[in-house]
Each structure stands twice: as C-alpha cells, then as structure tokens.
A and B are shown apart, each in its own frame.
Chain A
Amino acid sequence: MEEGLARAVLWGCLLVVLGALAAIVGHVLVQGLPGIDVDFLTTAPRASGREGGILTTIVATLYLVAGALAIAGPVGIACAIYLAEYLREGSLERIARFGVQTLAGVPSIIFGLFGFTAFVLWLGLGWSILSGSLTLAAMILPTLVKAAEEAIRAVPDSYRQGSLALGATKGQTILRVVLPVAMPGILSGVILSIGRVIGETAAVLLTAGSALGFAVSPLDSGRTMAVHLYLLAMEGISVPKAYSTSAVLILLVVGLNALATRITSRFTVRR
C-alpha cells in the first residue's frame, strides 16, 4: 500500500518535470514555428528586427560559440590534464579545485561586467565578437575543466600502466591513450558549454554588443540570437519575431545535443 503510494508520488513528480518541459517547448514551438520560413532563416533583420529574418544573429551566435570554444577548449583541457594527471593531492590541489568550483558559481553578469571593463574598455577591443568570446571563454572554463577532469580520472589505470610498461613516456600515454578514451566525457562538457554560450544574454550584450549587421571580423560587434530575442521582447519590438527566434534557438540546441550524442557514441568503443 505504502509502496504503491510512493510510486504514485514519484511518478507524479516525473510527470511534472516532463509536463513543464513539454509545456515550454510546445508553447514556444506553437507560437514560433508559423513565423519560420526560408526567408526568416536566410535574410538579415530589418527595421530593428520588426521585419526580415535572423540570419545575422545566427551567424553571430555561431561565431561566438566557435570563438569561445577555440579559447577555452585548449586551456580547459590542458588545465584538466594538469589537475588529473600531474597535481599531487595537497594544498595547491585544494586551492585549484576551490578556484574552479568558485568560478563555476559566479553569476554570468559578473563575467559580463568584468569582460566589459577588461576587454571592451581596457584592452580597447570594443564591443566585439572577440570581447564576447574571451568573456564567455572565462565563463565556460570551469564547466570544461570539471567535465574533462572527471573524464580523465575515469580512464582505467590499467590503460596507463599498459602504456608505460611498453616504454611510453607519461606525455605519450596521456596524448595517445588517456585523452582518446576520455574524449566522450570531454565532448559532453563541450556541449554543455555550447549550450551556455548560446543561451547567454547579459554577458554577451555587455561585451559583444547588439549590432544587427553581419559580423565579419572578430572585432565587429554582433547580436546573438539570445540577445536579439531579449531585445525584441524587452523593447516590445515584435513578440511574434521573438517567438520565432526562440523556436530556432530551441531547435538549434536540440540539434546540437543530438549531434553530440552521435559523436560521443562514435567515440565510445564498446566495452
């Protein structure tokens, strides 16, 4: 009897979660899909976004994702390798771990403010894709480091020992055995990071600006889809266009997740 009740409660909670997800995604798609056509995806916004499409915002979003990953990816993975493979337990290790944890908990607007002061003003990069990429790179770094470190730690020691026993150096072992095995976990961290970059508004608005033109050079300002949708709704420019932008954003996130799952399963060798 009690067992049955517990099951019902748990099942109900699951239903609430799935229901919320379905309601949000469904609502956005119902409101937004009718406004999406080829024109919407392939033309630039006109009249502040009241008319036209969202092509330039798609370009700026992808640009920013690529920039942030190009900066944070190598740094984050290198940092994770050091934490997992080289750093011995001790005070430095605790400080490093505490630092990464803290960085992960800092609200994104603070990264935005820092990026605005440091990159936009002080380095004189202005509102630009580069300023935005640097800021978002700092923001996603802890996510990347944690995911990569956990993935590296999860690689069985028997692989490391097998490699060392064949006369490989530690560096060769990490590059040729540990990293390839850890790759699915590292990629899942990358996907999470992409999601955060795509969804970020405040920090992007402060550092990459909101110019509606095509961003060509990294020093051009650009408006991402999330920023565009925020401004459309906030300034009451066009609620239908905001919904259509949201729908594209959601489809993009779903598509990226599907892609990531495929890549991950291709990398993962059956055990």
Chain B
Amino acid sequence: MINVLGRQGRPLEGQLEQRAKMRTENLCVYYGSLLAVKYVSLPVVRHSVTALIGPSGCGKSTFLRALNRMNEVIPGARTEGRVLLDGHDIHDPSLDVADLRRRVGMVFQQPNPFPMSVYDNVAYGLRIQGIRDRATLDRIVENSLREAALWDEVKDRMRRSALELSGGQQQRLVIARVLAVRPEVILMDEPASALDPVSTARLEDLIHDLKREYTIVIVTHNMRQAARVSDWTAFMLNGELIEYGPTERIFTNPSDPRTEAYITGRFG
C-alpha cells in the first residue's frame, strides 16, 4: 500500500501519479472575490472511489464541479490552476467543453430526471450526439439501466414519465443516463442526501460495482458513507485540502488533528 500523506502542495509519490485518472494542480475557484477553493492539488485514482469530505461550505462541491467545468455555468465563477484528465489540461482551448462533460459525467444532489419518459431520459445523451438508430439506442438504454441496477424495476414502464419513479429510482435513472454516454469519470455531489436509508444502501452497492469500469469522485457529508464506499478520502476545510490518503488510514489514523476532530464528530 502506498502511504501518501499528500498534504497541500507536496508532490505526490510517483506510483500514485501514474495511477491518477485526473489530477488538480494548485486549483483555485473564485466566486467573485471569494476564494472558495484554495490551491488544491489532488489526484483522482483510476478505477477507484475518491470521497471528498468536510463541513458544509468547505468547497468540496465547488471543487467537484471544477472537474468538469460546471462552475462555468455560475455567473462570476472563475477558476485558476490546472485540472488534468489523462495528463491533458481540461481548460485547453482546443478541448471542447461538451466533450469533456461527456467524458466526466455528473450526478447531482437532487435527482434531476428530465420530465420525459424513462427511455428518453437514458437516450438523451446519445441523441444529442446524433445517434438515431433505434436498435443501437434500445441496446445502450437497456445496458445502462442494467448497469445502474434499475432495469428490472423499469423495464415495463419505459414509456412512462420518469417523474413517477421514487427518489431512489430517479437517482439510479440519472446514473443510467450518465452511463449511457460512456463516461470515464463520474462525479457525484452528495447523491444520497435526498434518499431514504434503503435507497442509500442500494446506491452505495451500485457505486461499489461501478468502480470496476469507471473512476468515481463522490462528495458526501456522511462520514460512514465515505468510509463504506471510498478507497481514497480527501478532507477539506475552508476551501483548503487538509489531508488526503487511503480511506482506511484517514479514518483510523489521521495525521492532521483537524481531520481527526472532524471524523470523530467534534465539529461540522
């Protein structure tokens, strides 16, 4: 096991760097004059789950949204520093932002299926790429729903509105919608916060299964969830990355007293 203390600014071990699907270097995100993310350098290890933890307002969601440039949707948001995907900076002008977002998909806090049928939701990302062939769409929609562990529940209601599904089903539908465009990385922003415990457990199982094919980054305010689903954990506080390392070590033997204070529930 690689032992990475990975404090802010410290270079990462070479071996870990090779396993990084994504990497940020001194990433800063401003909202107007407010610095919401401060010089964060963090690897995202391939085919693993990286959890971002920290109290509300610590910048973890903002950091997550910087990984597929979704902050740009917010007026006044500005990003500095580098974000590398397979070694290429995602801010490179030659790179198409729509293409980036297809490669780095996102699941939001509130399930946000479109007000259309289950089928059309999953097929949406394919259709905007110009895929029209019925058989191809059928095949990918079914595969994506199977992968998201939702197929058996919706196969008889593909033409019904997605808004008739339960919250947990909607969140898995949204994941299927992301999977349909074959992303490489999936970003999840507190995906279970609107779900009941049973749905949450199903979602966690799903995340565990998905890391074989995908690289996952999940923001969560639930310590036990981070411990259950993730391989790597990053703890953020006031926009700074305080500590990063293997989840097991972060939760059993944190090296920073603030990390320890947070995970033992003394604040946040």
* Docked-complex contact A168 and B98, CB < 8 angstroms: yes
Residues of B65-121 contacting chain A, CB below 8 A: 68, 70, 73, 75, 98-102, 105-106, 108, 110, 112-116
Name the A residues within 8 Å of B100 (CB-CB). Answer: 167
Tell me the complex Cα distance, A168–B114, Å: 13
* Docked-complex contact A163 and B114, CB < 8 angstroms: yes
Q: Which of B132-140, B144-152, B174-182, B245-253 contacts A (4 or more CB under 8 A)?
A: B174-182
Tell me the complex Cα distance, A20–B135, Å: 60
- Known contacts A166-B102, A167-B98: A161-B112 contact under CB 8 Å: yes
User: Besides A165-B101, A166-B178, A167-B129, 7 other CB < 8 A contacts?
Assistant: A158-B112, A163-B114, A167-B128, A168-B128, A270-B161, A270-B163, A271-B163
* Docked-complex contact A166 and B101, CB < 8 angstroms: yes
* Docked-complex contact A167 and B99, CB < 8 angstroms: yes
A169 part of interface (Cβ distance < 8 Å): yes
Q: Closest chain A residue to B111 by CB distance?
A: A158
* Docked-complex contact A165 and B116, CB < 8 angstroms: no
Tell me the complex Cα distance, A164–B174, Å: 13
B164 part of interface (Cβ distance < 8 Å): yes
Q: A166: which of B115, B116, B164, B177 is its contact (CB, 8 Å)?
A: B177
A162 part of interface (Cβ distance < 8 Å): yes
- Known contacts A169-B98, A269-B161, A271-B163: A159-B114 contact under CB 8 Å: yes
24 A-B residue pairings within 8 Å (CB atoms): A156-B112, A159-B112, A160-B73, A161-B70, A161-B108, A162-B174, A163-B114, A163-B124, A163-B128, A166-B124, A166-B178, A166-B181, A167-B98, A167-B100, A167-B101, A167-B125, A167-B181, A168-B98, A168-B128, A169-B128, A177-B114, A181-B114, A181-B115, A271-B163
| A contact set with B: CB distance below 8 Å | 88, 156, 158-169, 172, 176-177, 180-181, 269-271
Q: Closest chain A residue to B101 by CB distance?
A: A167
* Docked-complex contact A162 and B108, CB < 8 angstroms: yes
Q: How many positions in chain B have a CB within 8 Å of any CB in the partner chain?
A: 30
Tell me the complex Cα distance, A88–B74, Å: 12
- Known contacts A159-B114, A181-B115: A166-B125 contact under CB 8 Å: yes
- Known contacts A165-B105, A168-B98: A176-B115 contact under CB 8 Å: no
